[in-house]
Structure 1
């Protein structure tokens, strides 16, 4: 039994190369697919993501189904990801190439149809995102951005933003000066 668990049917180097190549290929495929797939998974996207792991499984493990082979593959995946996050990603140009850049989807209270189309997002989905961020209609918004990681950022028009403690302190100080003067 122990031999079955620990015997590798392919070399460790073969396992490492397979894992890294599949990992990098998936990064490229997800980059080509666009930011929407990361931010707004619909049921079809979820099915693709779930099936994707099964589709690439044999490419990663090859003919090896051993416990040791699986642990080597998992270790290589985690190490490759840690390398990318800590070493490659901090470099702005490389990160922009791998992840993309911020896309402005709306500006000045109006949607930018070309940007929505380019990112593959529907206006109705974006309107739902507005409501989640306390904007009830596009005219309430100064700008809507889709970040490289798929996060939707909504900037309200300044007059609709909530007051901060600093705003209140400034108003109190101004009122005190008016009353004293």
Structure 2
């Protein structure tokens, strides 16, 4: 049950490598992808977890290997949270920053395109904020993928 197929440190290295790779991929996929899951996005997340599982443990199904990987992933998550809470640069790098999508009733179509936001999503956010387009002062795509509307 506690016999390992690989040296203990290899599980740590595997966990760090896969965590880092997935973090980079999630950042590259864009804010809107993270903030608004479709059924297809959920399917991708489920398949990602299944596909990286053997890579984390090297095929070792022992309890010890699983615990080493879990501790590594939780420690990485705590470390990232600690660092981003104390460094604005690190937070911007890991979490991203808000993007201006529109100002004074004008929608910036290039910003929508660059951030993979459909104009209909912005219009929906305007309706949810009970804000006609002409009364929109600012529209932001937040780092978490939500659209924030500020009115005049």
CA–CA distance in 2 between the matches of 1:30 and 1:90?
A: 22
Residue matched to 1:127: 123
CA–CA distance in 2 between the matches of 1:141 and 1:9?
A: 60
Alignment of 1:7-156 (within 5 A): 7-135=3-131, 137-156=132-151
Residue 6 of structure 1: SS of its match in structure 2? Answer: coil
CA–CA distance in 2 between the matches of 1:86 and 1:44?
A: 32
**5+ long unaligned stretches in structure 2:** none
Answer with 84-93 or 119-128: which moved more. Answer: 84-93
CA–CA distance in 2 between the matches of 1:19 and 1:43?
A: 27
Cα distance per residue 1:10-56 (max 9 Å; x no partner): 12100001001100111101111110111122222221111111111
CA–CA distance in 1 between the matches of 2:121 and 2:27?
A: 21
Task: Confirm or deny: 8 A CA contact 2:32 2:146 kept in the other structure.
Answer: no
Number of aligned residues: 152
Task: Confirm or deny: 8 A CA contact 1:10 1:63 kept in the other structure.
Answer: no
**5+ long unaligned stretches in structure 1:** 158-181
**Higher relative contact order structure (alpha carbons within 8 Å, sequence separation ≥ 6):** 2
Runs of 4 or more off by more than 6 Å in structure 1?
none
Normalised by the length of structure 2, the TM-score is 0.92
Residue 79 of structure 2: SS of its match in structure 1? Answer: helix
Alignment of 1:158-177 (within 5 A): none
Normalised by the length of structure 1, the TM-score is 0.78
Residue 149 of structure 1: SS of its match in structure 2? Answer: coil
Answer with 7-16 or 147-156: which moved more. Answer: 147-156
